[in-house]
Structure formats: structure tokens, C-alpha cells
């Protein structure tokens, strides 16, 4: 069996999510009409969480079966987790993913602070340089794209993109 | 003839063509949907004659639905929800250097499918609309589950994980105000979550950001163009393939029209159902998801036909078939028209105008489509790192644009991470997004149905249409394994 299809993280995540949703759903009120208990707000999430809990069980069984079939090929689970973590730390790709996610999260407060034209350009330049582009092409592409977006969304579609300091220049 | 002269006069033709070009742009830009394109056109068309306004709306929506397939094929980002099924084989064909061919097939099938849909709209509109009106909560519940099961079955890889993905999507759809009691569920005090998780940012994150994250992991491809060799766009070259799969085109267009005519179903479900049926009935189902021409033809013939189908209940009964036709009904009221059975008697020239415009739009779509494919293909000759940044910036602004909400950018990022993880674990993404769309419909109809029957499940199985849909769901999920089991037993005996 493919390792991707047998993973321990998937059943753990599914089980944790289901238990959490079941707990949260239990806090929701019941729906009683004329003394009769009817399907209320908790009904559908509960059904889905029970299904996902069963799915977690199936995935766990799948993982255990896979482990049995490859036993001896690998060391213990802890060793493999350590190995993965050290791979992630040293991997250029994993760090790039981290940079993209980090800058994307930071884009929102920075945009609110200095406006989209500047924040978007900085975001574009930073990411393109991280993704191995030359600095001048990073600047040209980012500036052009930000101008196109600002004109199309801001002017044509009247989307209120924060212009920030650029507003005073315009 | 009079109608033809009316719709071809410059006052109608010029805004109509401009609207079609706008439709190409809106459809091909992730974050701008056909619904948004229609919503933006309505205020402009207010100052025009009703025929010109309707020509703009019809032109923009049909082209937007096709244009959504362009980024779906080139980038694996569906421009509109109706394009999510087109990703499966279109993107695979693009990976094999046949993106241009996939989009040519797509364009012709959209046009043919749309034409068949419009023909059905003209011929059997009243009949189909009456049939759809017989649907109650039980039928809508099964229809929603059937659409979800189709997306799970047709997703490449594991059907079980497809169902898990759909269940996750439905679970996420329960966030927000409860449809029946108005109680807040899983909102954690966030006002932005009262209306639920935004579908557009979720879709952009799942398909757009996750793909960028995946590509960013491989530094060897970053300076290469996104589309290495997309192949030639030759309409004549695509015709033999379409002729070979003529039954798939016809069947998908009819399924698309029928599905589209059911209120709430829309072009996205139409595309999924057609893809599923095409895979089930194909001689080579194993080729689906690997860049099969049939896998491109089926959903693309259905989505434009679905849009034509959505006009049936909108026009005949004033009940919109989807979000686009909901705006159309509003626009018609704004023009002083009354969609409903009487419109055929009171303003027959408008009805004939709509039919004529819809037919001609399918022809004009081919020219507008070629323009769109060429323009988009040129953008994608840029190095991959540039395209990735363009996608990221458009994804962020596209997520923000619909509700003017910064919170939606965070939603997009969260779904990007979820999509990245799911792809790593071989869990199909499309069922999750469909679960998010159909979740409220499934839940509402299940609960309303149960309230009506005082908690009794039996009417969900005893109503004739309901029973047929339940049986179809059973066959979709278990038909394959049961058939394999029977075949194995027969072989052994």
C-alpha cells in the first residue's frame, strides 16, 4: 500500500475533529416544538461527526495494516517523526511554503497599515525573490500586477482596496 | 425575422459583445464568478432597452461559465464553481502539453452543450419546470446527496476518502447561523462567520493557494514557463474527437439541462453529474482523471447546458434555478417584465428575443473563447515564479473582493493549508468544495422534511421521485463493488 494512503496523522486529525465537534454540538440547544423533540441545530453536525469518527477508525485500521506490511523496513514511529522533522528543517521547499504562508498572513495587517499598492508590491517582490527570480524582474512583475489589480478591482469593480499613503499621491 | 433584426441592431449588438468579453475576463479570473459578472452588469444595463440588457446578461454569463475552464485547465484553479469538474482531465491534459487541445474541445463542447440546452429551453421549458415543482424536501435531500456522491466517486483515487472529503465540506458548511432556528453554530464570536464560511475564498484557497504551495516545494521548475507547450488551438482538429464522443456530448448536455432546471442545482452540479455518468458508462473509465478527452467533454458540455436549463424555471415560473438566474429574475423585474407563465402572452417579443440571443451567444462564444484562450495562454508563458505570485495576489484580492472582508483572506489561507495537506494525503479536494456548497441544501431539506413528517424517515423512501433518487445514490456508491463481486462469483462458478 502507498504510504500516502496510510497515514497516522489523518485518523488522529479526523478523530480529534469529530470529538471536538461532538462536544461543541452537545452545547447547542435542542429543538422542541409542541413538546416534540425535532432535529435541531446539533442534529446535522452530530451525524457528520459520528461518520467522521467511523472514518477515523477505518483510516487507523488501514494505517495499522500498512505498518504490519512494512514492519522491519523502518525504525520506530518516533524515529520516523524525528527524521521527517529534520528533513522539513533542512528542506528549501518546506521553508518556501513557510515563507509564502507567513507573508500571506502578514499581507492583511500590512495592507491595512500602508495600503494595497505598497503592501502588494512588497509581497510580490519578496516572494518572487524567494522563488529564485532576479530582483529586477521581481520588481517589474509585482509593480505591473499591482497596478492592474488596483485599476481593475479598485476602479472598474469599485472594490474598496485600501490605497494607504498612495491615496495622497493620487 | 423581426426578432433577429432587433437583436442585431448596434444598440444591442455592441453592448452584448462587450459584455461577452467582460464575461471572459470575469470567468477566467479566480474570485470573479459568473454571478458576480451578472451582478456587475445589471446596474449598467438599467439604462438600456430590456433586450439589450438581457443580451448583456446572457452573453456575459455563458462566456463566464466557459472562461472559468481556462484557469482550471492551465492552472488547476477553477475560475467559477461550474469549472471544478473540468479540472480533473483538463489540467492533466495541460500537463501532457495538450492544454490548447483540451480548451478547444472545451470551447466547442460548451457551445454545442449550450446550444442543446437552449433548444431544450425553447421546446420543453414548461414541461420540465412543472416536473421540478413537484420536488419536495425529501427529493432535494436525495438530489444533494446524489451530487455529492458523484463528486466522491469520480474523484481520482479513493472513493471512501472522497466521501470523507464531502462530509468534511458539509461539516464546514454548518458554521454560521442555523437555517431553521437562527442559532449561532461554531462562530466563536466572529461576526464574519455568521453567514458561514465564504465559498469563494475557500475555493481559491483549496485549488489556488494549495497548488502554489505544492509548486513552491520544487525549486527546479520555478524559472520555467507555467505552460511549456499548450498545443495548437484548432477547431477543425478537435471536431473528429467530438464526433467520436458525440453520444457523451449529447447525453451530458441533456443531463446538464435537466439538472440545471432543478432549482438550486445549477451548472456546477450539472458538470459533476455528467462527469460521473460519463465515467460510469465509458468503455475506458480508467482513463478518467489522467487526461481523457471524454473527461473534458462531459463536464464542459454540461455546464453551459446547465445554465440554459436554469433559465427554464426562471422564465416559466419566476423561480430561479441558480444564483445567476436569481439576479436575472431581479433584473427582469427591474426592466418592468414579469417572469412567469404570463410573460409568454404579455411580452412574446421579449421571450423570442431571449431565445434568439441565447442561440446566437453560443456561436459568438466560439470567437470570444478563442480570444480568451490566446490571451490567457500568453500570460502563462511567464516564468512559473512570476505566475505563482500573480496567482497569489489575485487570490488574495479575489477573496477580499466579494465581501470586502480581510477575514476572507485568512479563510483562503486556511483552506490553502487544508488543501495542501489533503493533496499530500491523497484526499480528493472537489468533494469538499461541493460539500460546502450543497451542505446547507442537504441539511435544510433533511430537517424540514423530518419536521414535516414528525421525525419519520419513511416518506424519504416512499415518495416515487425520492425513491428513484435514493436508488440512484445507492447504485452510485455501491453499484461498482457489487458488480465486481457478482462478476468475480460468476467467473469462479
Write the pLDDT tens digit of every residue in B459-478. 888 888 889 888 988 887 88
pLDDT at B229 over 60: no
Task: Please name the residue that has the C-alpha cell 466579494.
Answer: B402
Q: Which domain holds residue A120?
A: 92-169
Domain range summary for chain B, segments of one domain joined by +: 2-492
Query: Of all residues in chain B, what percent carry a pLDDT higher than 70?
Result: 88
User: Which range (A9-23, B4-18, B306-320, B437-451) has the least confidence?
Assistant: B306-320
The tally of domains found in chain A comes to: 2
Nearest to B388 among A105, A131, A157 (CB): A131
Same domain, A18 and A55: yes
Asked if B397 lies within 8 A of A112 by C-beta distance, the reply is no
Write the CA distances from B298 to B81, B281, B304, integer angstroms.
Answer: 16, 11, 11
Say if residue A117 is in the same domain as residue A151. yes
Whether residues A44 and B446 touch (CB distance < 8 A) is answered with yes
Query: pLDDT band for position A158 (50/70/90)?
Result: confident
Chain B residues whose CB is inside 8 A of the A116 CB are 397
ipTM, interface predicted TM-score of the complex: 0.88
Q: Are residues A9 and A22 in the same domain?
A: yes
pLDDT band at B129 (very low <50, low <70, confident <90, very high): low
Least confident of A73-82, B408-417, B482-491: A73-82
Cell of A153: 478591482
For B166, name the nearest residue in chain A, comparing CA atoms only.
A48
Cell of A108: 492583511
> Which one of B213, B424, B451 has the shortest CB-CB distance to A100?
B213
Considering only CA atoms, which of B72, B115, B27 is closest in space to residue B295? B72
Average pLDDT score over residue span B109-125? 87
Q: Are A165 and A98 in the same domain? A: yes
Lowest mean pLDDT across B106-110, B176-180, B217-221: B217-221
**Are A16 and A49 within one domain?**
yes
List the single residue in B219, B401, B410 with the smallest CB-CB distance to A153. Answer: B401
Q: Per residue in B25-46, is it b (16+ CB within 10 Å) or e — as a string?
A: bbbbbbbbbbbbbbbbbbeebe
Angle formed by the axes of helices B34-45 and B323-334, to 10°? Answer: 10
Q: Do B170 and A48 touch (CB under 8 A)?
A: yes
Q: What residues of B are in contact with residue A160 (Cβ under 8 Å)?
A: 404
Please report which confidence band the pLDDT of residue B230 belongs to, taking 50, 70 and 90 as the band edges. low
Determine the residue of chain B that is closest to A154 in CA distance.
Answer: B401
Distance from CA of A133 to the nearest CA of B (A): 7
If you average pLDDT over residues B411-430, what whole number do you get? 89
Rounded CA-CA distance B121/B261 in Å is: 9
Give the Cα separation of A129 and B13 in Å (integer). 46
Give yes or no: residues A73 and A126 share one domain.
no
Contacts of residue B137 in chain A, CB cutoff 8 Å?
Answer: none
Q: Provide the percentage of residues in chain B whose pLDDT is more than 90.
A: 10
Read off the pLDDT band of B172 (50, 70, 90).
Answer: very high
Name the domain boundary from A30, A57, A90.
A90
Question: Mean pLDDT score of chain B, rounded to an integer?
Answer: 82
Same domain, A80 and A147: no
Query: Pick from A58, A90, A122: which residue ends a domain?
Result: A90
Please tell me whether residues A130 and A79 are part of one structural domain: no
Tens digits of residue pLDDT in B134-168: 778 888 888 788 877 876 776 555 788 889 999 99
Is the pLDDT confidence value at A1 over 80? no
| Per-residue pLDDT at A120 exceeds 80 | yes
Contacts of A96 in chain B (CB under 8 A): 216-217, 219
* pLDDT for A102: 93
Query: Would you say residue B294 has pLDDT above 80?
Result: yes
pLDDT bracket for residue B399 (50, 70, 90):
confident
Which pLDDT score, from 0 to 100, does residue A82 have?
A: 67
Cell numbers 464526433 correspond to what residue?
B243
Mean pLDDT of B171-189: 88
Contact assignment for B409 to A107 by CB distance below 8 Å: yes
In A, residues 100-119, which contact B (CB 8 Å cutoff)? 100-101, 104-105, 107-108, 111-112, 116
Is the pLDDT score of B342 beyond 90?
Answer: no
Assess contact for B275 and B154: CB atoms under 8 A.
Answer: yes
> In chain A, helix, strand, coil percent, each to 5?
75, 5, 20
Q: How confident is the model at residue A119 (pLDDT cuts 50, 70, 90)?
A: very high
Alpha carbon distance A77, B9 (integer Å): 73
Clarify whether residues A28 and A99 are in a common domain.
Answer: no
Nearest to B256 by CA among B114, B435, B96, B357: B114
Same domain for A25 and A104? no
- DSSP code per residue over B414-453: HHHHHHHHHHHTT--SHHHHHHHHHHHHHHHHHHHHHHHT
A71 and A12 in a common domain: yes
Q: Are strands A36-38 and A31-33 parallel, antiparallel or unpaired?
A: antiparallel
**How close B13 comes to chain A (CA, Å)?**
22
Q: Which backbone phi and psi does A33 adopt, to 5 degrees?
A: -125, 125
Whether residues A85 and A101 share a domain: the answer is: no
d(C-alpha B176, C-alpha A151), whole Å: 34
Q: Considering A38, A73, A90, which residue would you say is the last residue of a domain?
A: A90
User: According to the model, what pLDDT value does residue B442 have?
Assistant: 87
Amino acid at each position: 500500500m502507498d504510504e500516502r494512503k496510510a497515514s497516522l496523522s489523518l485518523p488522529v486529525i479526523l478523530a480529534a475533529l469529530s470529538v471536538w465537534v461532538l462536544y461543541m454540538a452537545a452545547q447547542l440547544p435542542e429543538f422542541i416544538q409542541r413538546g416534540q423533540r425535532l432535529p435541531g441545530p446539533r442534529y446535522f453536525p452530530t451525524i457528520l461527526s459520528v461518520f467522521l469518527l467511523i472514518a477515523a477508525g477505518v483510516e487507523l485500521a488501514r494505517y495499522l495494516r500498512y505498518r504490519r506490511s512494512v514492519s522491519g523496513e523502518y525504525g520506530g514511529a518516533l524515529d520516523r517523526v524525528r527524521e521527517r522533522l529534520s528533513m522539513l528543517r533542512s528542506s528549501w521547499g518546506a521553508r518556501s511554503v513557510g515563507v509564502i504562508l507567513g507573508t500571506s498572513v502578514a499581507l492583511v495587517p500590512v495592507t491595512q497599515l500602508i495600503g494595497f499598492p505598497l503592501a502588494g508590491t512588497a509581497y510580490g517582490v519578496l516572494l518572487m525573490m524567494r522563488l529564485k527570480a532576479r530582483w529586477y524582474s521581481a520588481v517589474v512583475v509585482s509593480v505591473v500586477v499591482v497596478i492592474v489589480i488596483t485599476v481593475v478591482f479598485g476602479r472598474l469593480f469599485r472594490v474598496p482596496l485600501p490605497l494607504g499613503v498612495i491615496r495622497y499621491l493620487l | 425575422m423581426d426578432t433577429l433584426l432587433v437583436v442585431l441592431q448596434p444598440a444591442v449588438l455592441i453592448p452584448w459583445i462587450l459584455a461577452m468579453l467582460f464575461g471572459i475576463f470575469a470567468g477566467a479570473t479566480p474570485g470573479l464568478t459568473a454571478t458576480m459578472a451578472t451582478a456587475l452588469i445589471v446596474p449598467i444595463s438599467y439604462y438600456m432597452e430590456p433586450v439589450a440588457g438581457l443580451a448583456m446578461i446572457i452573453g456575459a454569463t455563458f462566456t463566464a461559465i466557459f472562461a472559468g475552464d481556462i484557469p482550471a485547465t492551465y492552472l488547476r484553479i477553477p475560475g467559477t464553481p461550474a469549472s471544478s469538474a473540468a479540472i480533473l482531465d483538463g489540467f492533466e491534459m495541460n500537463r501532457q502539453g495538450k492544454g490548447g487541445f483540451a480548451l478547444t474541445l472545451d470551447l466547442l463542447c460548451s457551445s454545442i452543450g449550450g446550444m442543446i440546452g437552449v433548444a431544450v429551453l425553447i421546446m420543453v421549458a414548461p414541461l420540465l419546470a412543472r416536473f421540478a415543482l413537484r420536488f419536495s424536501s425529501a427529493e432535494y435531500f436525495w438530489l444533494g446527496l446524489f451530487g455529492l456522491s458523484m463528486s466522491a466517486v469520480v474523484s481520482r483515487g479513493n472513493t471512501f476518502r472522497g466521501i470523507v472529503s464531502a462530509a468534511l465540506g458539509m461539516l464546514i458548511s454548518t458554521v454560521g447561523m442555523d437555517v431553521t432556528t437562527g442559532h449561532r453554530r461554531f462562530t466563536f464570536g466572529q461576526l464574519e462567520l455568521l453567514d458561514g464560511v465564504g465559498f469563494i475564498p475557500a475555493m481559491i484557497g483549496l485549488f489556488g493557494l494549495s497548488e502554489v504551495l505544492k509548486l513552491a516545494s520544487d525549486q527546479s521548475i520555478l524559472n520555467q514557463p507555467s505552460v511549456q507547450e499548450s498545443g495548437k488551438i484548432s477547431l477543425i482538429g478537435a471536431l473528429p474527437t467530438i464526433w467520436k464522443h458525440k453520444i457523451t456530448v449529447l447525453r451530458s448536455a441533456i443531463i446538464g439541462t435537466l439538472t440545471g432546471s432543478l432549482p438550486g442545482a445549477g451548472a456546477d452540479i450539472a458538470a459533476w453529474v455528467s462527469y460521473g455518468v460519463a465515467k460510469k458508462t465509458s468503455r475506458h473509465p480508467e482513463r478518467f482523471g489522467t487526461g481523457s478527452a471524454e473527461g473534458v467533454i462531459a463536464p464542459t458540455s454540461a455546464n453551459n447546458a446547465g445554465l440554459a436549463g436554469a433559465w427554464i424555471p426562471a422564465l416559466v415560473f419566476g423561480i430561479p434555478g441558480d444564483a445567476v438566474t436569481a439576479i436575472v429574475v431581479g433584473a427582469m423585474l427591474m426592466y418592468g417584465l414579469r417572469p412567469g407563465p404570463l410573460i409568454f402572452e404579455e411580452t412574446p417579443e421579449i421571450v423570442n428575443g431571449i431565445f434568439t440571443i441565447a442561440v446566437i451567444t453560443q456561436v459568438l462564444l466560439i470567437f470570444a473563447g478563442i480570444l480568451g484562450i490566446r490571451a490567457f495562454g500568453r500570460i502563462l508563458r511567464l516564468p512559473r515564479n512570476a505566475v505563482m505570485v500573480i496567482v497569489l495576489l489575485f487570490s488574495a484580492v479575489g477573496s477580499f473582493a466579494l465581501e470586502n472582508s480581510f477575514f476572507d483572506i485568512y479563510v483562503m489561507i486556511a483552506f490553502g493549508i487544508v488543501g495542501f495537506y489533503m493533496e499530500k494525503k491523497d484526499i480528493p479536494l472537489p468533494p469538499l468544495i461541493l460539500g460546502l456548497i450543497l451542505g446547507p441544501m442537504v441539511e435544510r431539506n433533511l430537517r424540514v422534511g423530518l419536521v414535516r413528517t414528525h421525525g419519520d424517515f419513511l416518506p424519504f423512501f416512499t415518495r416515487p421521485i425520492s425513491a428513484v433518487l435514493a436508488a440512484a445514490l445507492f447504485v452510485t456508491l455501491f453499484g461498482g463493488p457489487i458488480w465486481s463481486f457478482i462478476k468475480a462469483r460468476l467467473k469462479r462458478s
